[in-house]
Structure 1
Amino acid sequence: MPDAYSFDIAVGRYQNSCDPALADGHWEGSPSPRATWLPNACYLHPYTRKEATTCLANSRVVFAGDSTARDVFNSLREKIGADIEQPDKHSDVFVKTKENIEMQFYWDPFWNRTDVLSKEQHYGGRTEGGYEHVNALMVFSAGHWFIKHMGESGYGQFGHALDGILDMVASRGHESGAIADMVVVRPVNPVIPAKLISTRRAISRSKVDAYNAYLRKVIGQPRVVEDIHVPEYVEALYTAAAQHTSDGLHYDQRVLLSEVEMYLNRRCNPILFGKSPAGKATCCVRYASIGWRQWATVLGLGFVGCLGWAWRSFGSASQGDRSRLKRLMVMGLPSVDLSKDVTILALGLLYMLIVDRTAYLPKINKYFSVPTFTFLTLLYLVPGFISLTPRKDTTFLSRYQTDEWKGWMQLAILIYHYTGASSQPVIYAFIRCCVAGYLFMTGYGHFIYFYTKAEFGIKRVVNVIVRLNLLSALMAYTMDKDVLFYYFGPMVSVWFGVVYLTMRIGRAWNNRPGFVLGKICASGVLCAILIQEWFFQPFFSVLGAATGVEWDARESVFRLALDRWIVFVGMGVGLCVCYLKSGAVDVARYRTHAIWISVAALVVYTLFVTFLQSKFVYNSYHPYVSPIPVVAYTILRNSPILASRTSAFFEWIGKFSLELFLVQYHVWLGVDTKGLVGLGWGGKWTGFLVLGLVFFGMAYTLEGISGRLVKALAAGDWSTAVGRTALAMGVMILMNRAWWFA
């Protein structure tokens, strides 16, 4: 395997160094049971059981030493799901998993068992097909027993035992390659004297420090041939973990698990993510080189924008009226204002590329904490309430209300993503209802338009679809991602198509409420039947063969099925609103009842989600229960007391909520939303403020640009609009096919 330390590892100020980047970290949430060690300069990938076993499959993991080695061994064993009956604490442990991972622990507190060294010297041979039972990881950990049982002579005996390990590693390296992919000699665990029992009082901090200083002096930095090292990141981890030990010597599971995660990142990141680390890890792995398609998207847009601006501003007058070049320029180049927009758009995409695909800004892990989440929530609620403004338009779900609704929901989603709150079932359920709220407005708004205006022109379809997907498509090409990764635009596009077809089919009878209600119900049932992998997979396969895209049918079905009913509920509410406006029913008579029912519904829903054990359990209920809080909110928001005022701040945010949702992926968040972008100086909150201002300013700017570009594409009659859109899509398909063949 490639040596982790030999990579040109791009982690900001720790260029070419994996270990110092891991060591420069801090405890987040200490001393709670959820505490974790987080590096300050790179994103530590949290390994799943599947990822860990994939990396270690067909290999051997060997630990030798005292109880500190056994603790880390057991933590790794539990991580990969290798269950055993609890053995005697001074016994060897051997276990083999179904992935053919051999885990071995040798009880060897004095590093003097010759059978450990002799056995492991003969392991680790390579075969032509790759590795077969190679030692993936060897960990040696001892020291406390030398101090406790050997007194003053322990220091010399420790050095002698260490020499034996180094001789074994060196001899194996000279004969036929390294004895293991990664050999670790752990620092001696620091002790907390006040917590030590009387029989361990001889183990002092000064002696532990002396032993560790000797380890660093003898071994130093990782060797070039044999990757043997004293991990400074482990020493940093334990030095700052005084609150995580109850007996002053052994540390709790959070510390052990953090150590295991760093071993896995150091050994496995180059193996699993070396070719494509984007969106997975930035610790101990190089950033991937930026591909030609990514550069072509950014530089192509920039070139067109700059050329259009320069020629429209200075070059058009220098050519004769009958010049072929002039006619070509007039037809192909955008106006001066649009050229500026295209250039700024290219700069925005370039900024995303630099932020999330290079090492110029560090990427760090998220960590959820209730105080942080509460503070950020209050941070956006305060200006929202302060800016409440009287409105004359009090119609049901007026433009003021829908923009406000989009605004506060988008801010809630941003805080949810930034704080990593997806692990909290109640918050997750609330955010899922926010997404349902967006889709409710999709069904409601487009239904009202088609129902009242009866206008089904193709130009509107092009305008809506392009507006929803223009920025996400350009970001997909720039960031080398699937366009479905930015799922919101494609998902809303599908539901817009459903609303359009539902209202267009049989449109001659749309003036009959009963007929329209029947269409809505039939459409809902049909979509519930067709939102299945067997329906989408053939279409995606054909599309992939024709265009080179690789869309995931399972993920698409998950996204659509999760909110399979809410769009139709929005259409139904729209139909009810139109019917009630006709005066057929005395609305005032039932208003009070509706308000109290809505309050009760919100209370019942809140109690329901509070007792759910996980977000995965909630997902099974969400399609059926999400209409309850959404419809209840619309009724309460339009009650006489609340309908007369809306928040100007939330309305402003709502006008560019789509761009906020998209741009967050690579500007405020990092590692494709898994982590956060930092500044590398000033701390987390400085990065939050500075990068947050850039993020909001960028999203606001791109909203205006996207709107003007869509308007330009859709200008003229419907055939011209379709032609321009088809040309743009054709260019993207050609780029995708060229990339696919390359």
Structure 2
Amino acid sequence: MTQLRRLAASNWHPLSGITYSTLILVLVWLSYQRFLNGQSDIHGCRALLNDGAWSPAHSSSNPQKWEPTGCRMAEYQADTIHNCLSGQRLVLAGDSTIRQIFWAAAKKLDPEQAKTESSNTATTNEKHHDLTFQAKGVRLEFIWDPWLNSTGLDDALKTFHVTPASKTKGTLTEKDESAALIVLGSPGLWAAHYGGDDYLNIFKRGINGISAHLASDLGDHTLSASSTKGKPNVAPNQILLAPVEVPAFNTLSSGRSETITSERIDKMNDFLSHLPPNQTSHVMWAFNQMTSSSGKAFEGDGLHVEDNIADRKIDIVLNSHCNAPAVDTDRLFQGTCCAPEPRNDVFKLALLLLGLITLLYVPRSRSIPKFTRQLPVVPEVITATRDVLIALIWCWICDGTLQVGKLERHYQQGPFIVSCLFWVIGSLAIIHKVLPSVSQAAWTLPKTNKEELPSSNRDHGFLCRDQSEEIKGLMQGFILLYHYNYASQALWVYKIIRVLISAYFFLSAYGHTQYILKTGDYSFRRVAVVLFRINALSAILPYMMGTSYSSYYFAPVVTFWYLVIYTMLRVFKRWNSDPWILIMKALAATTLTSLLISTPGLLEALANIAHSIFRMSWDAEEFRFRLSLDRYIVYVGIFIGSLVHSANMHDARERFKAPPSTTLDSDNVQFYVLATAGLGGFFYLTQTGLPTKQEYNDLHPFISWIPIFGFLILRNLHPAARNAYLALPAKLGRIALETYILQYHIWLGGDATAKLTLGLDDARFGGWMIEKALLTIIFIGISALTHRATAVFTGYITERGFLVLLAGLWIGNLVYG
């Protein structure tokens, strides 16, 4: 207890100071950006409609995506369109370029029906006529009106109003009711081609005829869905205007190229750009940016765009209208353009609790109020609570609000490899000798003490604690860089990372096996401590972030395998000292777990039970996939752990140690050769063969032990290497669980699908490096402080307290879920 108090009062002050000073600096910068520079487009609506760029195309199966500047655009499909527009109308009016967008929307709703109806339309001689399409409870209407002066459009505009109709969801809107969304095409191409010298006046008359309906600034009401009285989660109705399309002039037919000139197009778009700001807020300038920045944007006639361009155009329309209600109803929705900040009462409660804790305990003063001094362990518990609350609050600020921007990730092989090399070089910079096994606080190096240092000839054996943490940290560094650089797009990288993840499960199984066999501790309190340690962070984050426990899949999978290991060793525990019986138990456990994982319906049944009783949402298929990839490596860890324990118990450590000589012993050459051959052969065969992820995943569970065991042999054969460890990776290894979970929200964004940005990435003088450094300092610091806090709470876990926590989580799920 005294040691915990001392740690809370002293050793953690530098880490807390650095982390929270950096955090305050970033918060000040974000406040400056938002309240001084960001008022014109807080929610990214103008960015969506006005500016963007195409992402790099990695392969034919991963085509380019349109990325608005400063926000993330969702790609809508049939279900999400239905959720937004069910029972409503989407009206599009204009020429054939707008008709392309109409068919793009129809294909999203029902590809087969759209293909049939578009083919039937193409066979008719009447191309210039109105169209309707209905699917998924949504009605699409196209009004042929290249001049914006038809009776049909006039009727649609007369009935239009911003406030959605009050009606039962799912009942289709009638003709005399307002359309949810109206998309208008500027009459520029027809005015230029058929208007002669009076083309500009004709164009102006068409725009002036609809300008009264563009009077309200689009940003004033786009995000008011959640505040619409009596109509929660329903977007306000909108009108959007497409600019005059800039065609591919060099491919226009001779008749069109004489009239549709760049000069005429520029003059008409210039007129649009000089409309009052409230009217220009409805113009989707991004349409022309799409075609100007794409290598192949138009079909052969130079007027009509390729299908993928039309798809992205309708996505812009739908993002403008549907993102606000989607965010209100689905926390996992990834679009951030034209999206409000969702309400979060848990965030407000966390802020209130943090304020109360600040009043109770100020770490700088190292004192607490008199009335709390008699309470047990107040300083360290309050400090731990503070750190956890700040971690939760920062997660929400980064990933739940619009304070911190989110950008799409792109895989670039060169920067990824360079960053990995930097991590390797940095890891090799500091090498420490292995110290005797003592109780140490994670992330803090013990002070030098001559009495604590081991003798130079002491051998610490195979895979000691410091070495295990070093390996976990090395792997975690590569995994973080893998996620940050979106390297999952490269199959060769994916294969390596899968081995690293399997190695973590091996080390986890090895460590748990060693502990249980060494201590014989099968108590419920030990189980409670381990389960709390593994699951604490991933159990409370869903309350703040609106995610689910299974979203952080690593904790559930590690928990599953720990319970398997514990149960296997607990059953007939008196025979664990017999290697042959232990092997038989492991084989039986392997068979049972494989059946549980592979048998259809079993995991689904468990997921249904968990949801019915505990209100926990599980993706059984995803869980099955994760478990199946490592269903055998865990038992390899158990076997090696039991073998090492048995050797130690029988004083046969020479099996796992090289002779104390610092030179290479000839008896160990065969092990070097076998380990090197295993590593080289594994990576050569997997990298040159198995051309798909599916093929590799099918084989991975059976071969993942080869590189893992090969590396461990090489790492432990020589005593000099065995009795030293890399300090930096070892520190990261101690907080590997926290970094893996928190990366979802404060290292990456959008639940680990986007990069976070502070708005410095485009600044000069290495602004992007400053941005990454600030975010990384906060990420590592909060991960370490959260690890420290979890260790403090773990010290006070009792059997009864653990059961109370479970009951609290159950009640929380019933209320919150």
Task: Identify whether the pair has TM-score above 0.5, normalized to the shorter chain.
Answer: yes
Residue 84 of structure 2 corresponds to: 55
Q: CA–CA distance in 1 between the matches of 2:580 and 2:147?
A: 85
Q: CA–CA distance in 1 between the matches of 2:426 and 2:56?
A: 32
1:517 Cα deviation from its structure 2 partner: 0.7
Counterpart contact for 2:615–2:813, Cα < 8 Å: yes
Q: CA–CA distance in 2 between the matches of 1:653 and 1:731?
A: 31
2:203 counterpart of 1:158: yes
1:294 Cα deviation from its structure 2 partner: 4.2
Counterpart contact for 1:298–1:350, Cα < 8 Å: yes
Counterpart contact for 2:341–2:400, Cα < 8 Å: yes
1:508 Cα deviation from its structure 2 partner: 1.0
Residue 717 of structure 1 corresponds to: none
Cα distance, 1:28–1:706 mapped onto 2, change above 3 Å: farther
Q: CA–CA distance in 2 between the matches of 1:29 and 1:538?
A: 41
Among 719, 741, 751, the residue aligned to 1:672: 751
User: Which residue identity is paired with 1:352?
Assistant: C
Residue 705 of structure 1 corresponds to: 789
Q: Deviations over 1:319-354 (max 9, x none)?
A: 7xxxxxx7xx745x5332443333233223222232
2:738 counterpart of 1:659: yes
Among 65, 70, 74, the residue aligned to 1:41: 70
Q: CA–CA distance in 1 between the matches of 2:719 and 2:814?
A: 57
Cα distance, 1:305–1:334 mapped onto 2, change above 3 Å: farther
Q: CA–CA distance in 1 between the matches of 2:208 and 2:92?
A: 17
1:567 Cα deviation from its structure 2 partner: 1.3
Residue 184 of structure 2 corresponds to: 140
Question: Normalising to structure 2: TM-score of the pair?
Answer: 0.74
Residue 381 of structure 1 corresponds to: 424
- After TM superposition, list the pairs within 5 Å mapping 1:390-429 onto structure 2: 395-429=461-495
Among 475, 493, 507, the residue aligned to 1:441: 507
Does the residue aligned with 1:263 lie in a helix, a strand or coil? helix
1:523 Cα deviation from its structure 2 partner: 0.5
Does the residue aligned with 1:460 lie in a helix, a strand or coil? helix
1:502 Cα deviation from its structure 2 partner: 0.6
Among 353, 363, 366, the residue aligned to 2:409: 366
2:136 counterpart of 1:99: yes
Among 649, 656, 681, the residue aligned to 1:600: 681
Cα distance, 1:372–1:92 mapped onto 2, change above 3 Å: farther
Q: Deviations over 1:85-108 (max 9, x none)?
A: 653795669575652545555665
User: Which residue identity is paired with 1:22?
Assistant: L
- After TM superposition, list the pairs within 5 Å mapping 1:624-639 onto structure 2: 624-638=702-716
Residue 344 of structure 2 corresponds to: 290
Q: CA–CA distance in 1 between the matches of 2:105 and 2:357?
A: 54
Cα distance, 1:686–1:465 mapped onto 2, change above 3 Å: same
Once the two structures are overlaid, the 10-residue window that deviates more, 260-269 or 680-689, is 680-689
1:184 Cα deviation from its structure 2 partner: 2.8
Residue 245 of structure 2 corresponds to: 189
Cα distance, 1:557–1:352 mapped onto 2, change above 3 Å: same
Q: CA–CA distance in 1 between the matches of 2:623 and 2:295?
A: 46
Q: CA–CA distance in 2 between the matches of 1:260 and 1:417?
A: 30
- After TM superposition, list the pairs within 5 Å mapping 1:211-610 onto structure 2: 211-216=268-273, 221=278, 229-235=282-288, 237-238=290-291, 244=297, 251-252=305-306, 255-277=309-331, 280-291=334-345, 293-297=346-350, 299-300=352-353, 303=356, 307=360, 313-316=367-370, 330-331=374-375, 333-387=376-430, 395-531=461-597, 534-536=601-603, 544=611, 547-577=614-644, 582=652, 592-609=673-690
Cα distance, 1:377–1:63 mapped onto 2, change above 3 Å: farther
Q: CA–CA distance in 1 between the matches of 2:279 and 2:643?
A: 71
Q: Deviations over 1:680-702 (max 9, x none)?
A: 34535543232122212222232
User: Which residue identity is paired with 1:648?
Assistant: A
Counterpart contact for 2:686–2:696, Cα < 8 Å: no
Cα distance, 1:458–1:64 mapped onto 2, change above 3 Å: same
- After TM superposition, list the pairs within 5 Å mapping 1:111-130 onto structure 2: 111=148, 128-130=167-169
Counterpart contact for 1:436–1:566, Cα < 8 Å: yes
Residue 210 of structure 1 corresponds to: 267
1:651 Cα deviation from its structure 2 partner: 2.3
1:467 Cα deviation from its structure 2 partner: 1.6
1:44 Cα deviation from its structure 2 partner: 2.2
Q: CA–CA distance in 2 between the matches of 1:713 and 1:253?
A: 61
1:440 Cα deviation from its structure 2 partner: 1.6
Q: Deviations over 1:643-662 (max 9, x none)?
A: 55754332232122112112
Counterpart contact for 2:675–2:711, Cα < 8 Å: no
Does the residue aligned with 2:683 lie in a helix, a strand or coil? helix
Q: CA–CA distance in 2 between the matches of 1:103 and 1:315?
A: 66
Once the two structures are overlaid, the 10-residue window that deviates more, 487-496 or 645-654, is 645-654
Does the residue aligned with 1:229 lie in a helix, a strand or coil? coil
Question: Normalising to structure 1: TM-score of the pair?
Answer: 0.80
Q: Deviations over 1:54-74 (max 9, x none)?
A: 434555544443443244344
Residue 98 of structure 2 corresponds to: 69
Among 700, 707, 725, the residue aligned to 2:802: 725
1:575 Cα deviation from its structure 2 partner: 4.2
Q: CA–CA distance in 1 between the matches of 2:38 and 2:720?
A: 50
Residue 53 of structure 2 corresponds to: 27
Does the residue aligned with 1:140 lie in a helix, a strand or coil? strand
Q: CA–CA distance in 2 between the matches of 1:535 and 1:254?
A: 41
Counterpart contact for 2:668–2:717, Cα < 8 Å: no
Counterpart contact for 1:562–1:622, Cα < 8 Å: yes
Among 779, 804, 817, the residue aligned to 1:695: 779
Q: CA–CA distance in 1 between the matches of 2:619 and 2:75?
A: 23
Residue 322 of structure 1 corresponds to: none
User: Which residue identity is paired with 2:270?
Assistant: A
Question: 5+ residue gaps in structure 1?
Answer: 1-8, 171-179, 320-325, 715-720
Once the two structures are overlaid, the 10-residue window that deviates more, 127-136 or 697-706, is 127-136
User: Which residue identity is paired with 1:139?
Assistant: V
Counterpart contact for 1:443–1:567, Cα < 8 Å: yes
Q: CA–CA distance in 2 between the matches of 1:60 and 1:104?
A: 7
Once the two structures are overlaid, the 10-residue window that deviates more, 298-307 or 592-601, is 298-307
User: Which residue identity is paired with 1:498?
Assistant: V
Cα distance, 1:652–1:76 mapped onto 2, change above 3 Å: same
Q: Deviations over 1:147-192 (max 9, x none)?
A: 134331222223344456669999xxxxxxxxx9443321012356
1:512 Cα deviation from its structure 2 partner: 1.5
Does the residue aligned with 1:494 lie in a helix, a strand or coil? helix
Cα distance, 1:434–1:313 mapped onto 2, change above 3 Å: same
1:679 Cα deviation from its structure 2 partner: 1.1
Cα distance, 1:139–1:233 mapped onto 2, change above 3 Å: same
Q: CA–CA distance in 2 between the matches of 1:104 and 1:620?
A: 48
1:399 Cα deviation from its structure 2 partner: 3.1
Cα distance, 1:666–1:123 mapped onto 2, change above 3 Å: closer
User: Which residue identity is paired with 1:263?
Assistant: V
1:76 Cα deviation from its structure 2 partner: 3.5
Q: CA–CA distance in 1 between the matches of 2:422 and 2:670?
A: 39
1:208 Cα deviation from its structure 2 partner: 1.6
Measured on the aligned residues, the alpha-carbon RMSD in Å equals 4.2
Residue 323 of structure 1 corresponds to: none
Matched positions, count: 697
Counterpart contact for 1:472–1:489, Cα < 8 Å: yes
Cα distance, 1:168–1:39 mapped onto 2, change above 3 Å: closer
Does the residue aligned with 2:673 lie in a helix, a strand or coil? helix
Once the two structures are overlaid, the 10-residue window that deviates more, 48-57 or 649-658, is 48-57
Cα distance, 1:30–1:443 mapped onto 2, change above 3 Å: closer
